């Protein structure tokens, strides 16, 4: 047994430079974990990286072909260095590692756009300082390591620490261990993801229905704004009588008679993907075939003379982005706050307020008829990452309702969620302010709700063992004063419908009803504001 350990230690000492530089160039994982999860996760991630590199070295040492071992190690270090630069760029600007979404954008970028991007972001003094500081830290670590790496006792202690601490790292990171911790392996995985996602997306586009036949098109509304929220239950909104004042701005607008608040809206599913598939198409829970084979709202609107805008603070890549990306591709303008994949979107800190800047830029580029979708992160977990510090109003001691067996940590999570709802209120109000002087109508809904220790010990949403809070969502309509005057009959119909039960899988019928656009697939009995509405839930 001692001879085996001696061989292992001899191998580690011999490959000490490879181990250090490969591990050091992959410590961006630890930096990312520190940003998103704190010091403990960062330390455990660092040891997970080190263990991955040690195992990789031992595996490579089994290769007996002449010089192949050296070539592979050189390639791994070079690729790690390249990925290190990309990771550090992403960490500096987006507080996340380089991901498949960013790689997808690189492949789709023209040379002129690439040069413009480099000029704006890469040749940036703050980024250069960030890189310089990083390399200084790594070099200091190398000088310390160089004095210790020739001793077997150093490697023995290192292995003990690595084996002891690595199990505390997130379990999800052990799914494809080397892939997560060693960037060249992660790069190959990202390349495959980009290939697969583009293949799926191109197939969706090829099968999408594009031919539009109008039976009526009396559309004249100048500005239609649709805010699509995320994971927001109406049961945490004071607008719907929640005990904490989480929607003071919307409450104020309701008191002034500006809002139509629907009391009985439900989402068709408790997850984003199936909701998104139905929301802007004629596909519903009873439909057959694939959702993208049904006519989309945006293809109708573009044909009807509307300039469409898809402005999003959600992901640009991955299975969770497919529906949004599909709708954005139907014509018009699509812009995202940042490039990121489905994994990064859950942890990257990007407030919905950043979307207001994009909206403002597009307000100078309007047609006579405009349709906006603002797809926000809303109150998606992790809740504390959805709002800036000035909205950190509610604390654990404020949480006096909910699940009877709730823990102190559960109360803290509830307070974070309520703060996210408070920021959500601010965002909606800010969007409304931008259209108060225009003929405009705005709809706000959430894709689905969220259980946050309301009826059981659980925070989140789930298709299995779903609770009512995961389906009970806000549905709000706001209109400007000039709109109320111009479309008096429509506003009366909306006002008379606020107590009707409604499933948002039929939202496309409501939107077309408001716009006075009809196709062969439009059904007035599915529009909650229509006199023929007969939908029973």
- In angstroms, the Cα distances linking 238 to 77, 234, 425 are 55, 8, 10
The full DSSP string for 223-286 is EEEEEEE-S--GGG-GGGT-SS---HHHHHHHHTT-EEEESEEE-S-SSHHHHHHHHTBS--TT
Q: How far apart are CA 335 and CA 342, in angstroms?
A: 17
Residue 83 tokens read as 């990925």
What CA–CA distance (Å, rounded) separates 440 from 75? 58
pLDDT in tens, the chain (537 residues): 556 767 777 778 888 899 999 999 999 988 888 887 788 778 878 888 888 888 888 888 888 777 898 899 999 999 999 999 889 888 888 788 888 888 887 777 666 656 666 566 666 777 778 888 888 888 898 888 888 888 888 888 887 877 776 666 554 444 455 567 888 988 898 899 889 988 998 999 888 877 788 999 999 999 999 999 999 999 999 999 999 999 999 999 999 999 999 999 999 999 999 999 999 999 998 899 999 999 999 999 999 999 999 999 998 888 888 899 899 888 789 999 887 776 665 555 689 999 999 999 999 878 899 999 999 999 998 899 999 999 999 999 999 998 899 999 999 999 999 999 999 999 999 999 999 999 999 999 999 999 999 999 999 998 888 999 999 999 999 999 999 999 999 999 999 999 999 999 999 999 999 999 999 999 999 999 999 997 544
Two tokens, residue 3: 């001879």
Question: CA–CA separation, 73 vs 56, rounded Å?
Answer: 10
Residues written for the chain: 537
Question: Contact at 8 Å (CB) between 242 and 257?
Answer: no
User: Domain extents for the chain?
Assistant: 2-202, 221-526
- How far is it, in rounded angstroms, from Cα 23 to Cα 197? 30
CA distances to 82, 498, 521 from 356, in Å: 34, 28, 34
> Do residues 509 and 526 touch, judged by C-beta distance below 8 A?
yes
Instruction: CATH number for 221-526: choose from 2.60.40.740, 3.40.720.10, 3.40.50.1820, 3.30.43.10.
Output: 3.40.720.10
Alpha helices by DSSP H, 175-219: 177-181, 183-207
- Per-residue DSSP letter, 119: I
How far is Cα 397 from Cα 407, in angstroms, rounded to an integer?
12
């Amino acid at each position: 047994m001692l001879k085996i350990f001696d061989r292992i230690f001899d191998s580690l000492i011999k490959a000490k430079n490879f181990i250090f530089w490969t591990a050091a160039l992959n410590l961006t994982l630890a930096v990312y974990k520190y940003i998103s999860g704190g010091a403990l996760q960062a330390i455990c991630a660092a040891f997970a990286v080190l263990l991955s590199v040690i195992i990789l070295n031992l595996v490579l040492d089994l290769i007996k072909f002449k010089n192949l071992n050296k070539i592979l190690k050189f390639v791994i270090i070079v690729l790690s260095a390249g990925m290190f630069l990309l990771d550090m760029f992403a960490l500096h600007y987006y507080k996340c590692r380089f991901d498949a979404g960013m790689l997808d954008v690189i492949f789709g970028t023209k040379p002129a756009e690439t040069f413009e991007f480099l000029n704006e972001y890469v040749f940036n003094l703050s980024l250069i300082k960030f890189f310089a500081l990083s390399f200084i830290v790594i070099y200091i670590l190398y000088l310390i390591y160089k004095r210790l790496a020739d001793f077997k006792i150093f490697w023995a202690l290192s292995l003990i620490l690595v084996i002891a601490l690595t199990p505390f790292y997130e379990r999800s990171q052990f799914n494809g261990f080397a892939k997560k911790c060693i960037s060249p392996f992660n790069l190959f995985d990202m390349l495959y993801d980009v290939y697969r996602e583009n293949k799926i997306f191109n197939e969706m586009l090829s099968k999408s229905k594009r031919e539009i036949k109008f039976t009526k098109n009396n559309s004249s509304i100048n500005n239609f704004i649709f805010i699509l929220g995320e994971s927001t239950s109406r049961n945490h909104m004071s607008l719907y009588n929640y005990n904490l004042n989480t929607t003071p701005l919307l409450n104020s607008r309701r008191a002034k008679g500006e809002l139509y608040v629907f009391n009985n809206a439900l989402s068709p599913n408790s997850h984003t993907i199936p909701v998104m598939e139905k929301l802007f198409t004629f596909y519903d829970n009873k439909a057959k075939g694939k959702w993208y084979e049904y006519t989309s709202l945006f293809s109708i609107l573009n044909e009807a003379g509307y300039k469409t805008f898809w402005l999003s603070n959600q992901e640009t890549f991955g299975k969770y982005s497919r529906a949004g990306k599909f709708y954005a591709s139907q014509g018009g303008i699509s812009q995202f706050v940042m490039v990121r994949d489905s994994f990064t979107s859950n942890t990257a800190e990007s407030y919905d307020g950043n979307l207001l800047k994009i909206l403002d830029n597009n307000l100078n580029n309007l047609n006579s008829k405009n349709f906006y979708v603002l797809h926000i992160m809303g109150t998606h977990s992790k809740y504390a990452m959805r709002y800036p510090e000035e909205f950190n109003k509610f604390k654990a001691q404020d949480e006096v309702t909910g699940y009877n067996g709730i823990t102190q940590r559960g109360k803290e999570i509830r307070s974070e969620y309520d703060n996210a709802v408070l920021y959500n209120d601010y965002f909606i109000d800010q969007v409304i302010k931008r259209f108060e002087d225009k003929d405009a109508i705005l709809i706000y809904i959430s894709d689905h709700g969220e259980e946050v220790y309301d009826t059981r010990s659980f925070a989140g949403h789930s298709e299995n063992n779903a609770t009512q809070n995961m389906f009970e969502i806000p549905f709000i309509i706001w209109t400007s004063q000039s709109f109320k005057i111009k479309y008096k009959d429509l506003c009366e119909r909306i006002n008379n419908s606020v107590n009707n039960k409604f499933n948002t899988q039929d939202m496309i019928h409501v939107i077309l009803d408001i716009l006075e656009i009809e196709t062969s697939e439009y059904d007035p009995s599915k529009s909650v504001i229509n006199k023929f509405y007969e939908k029973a839930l």
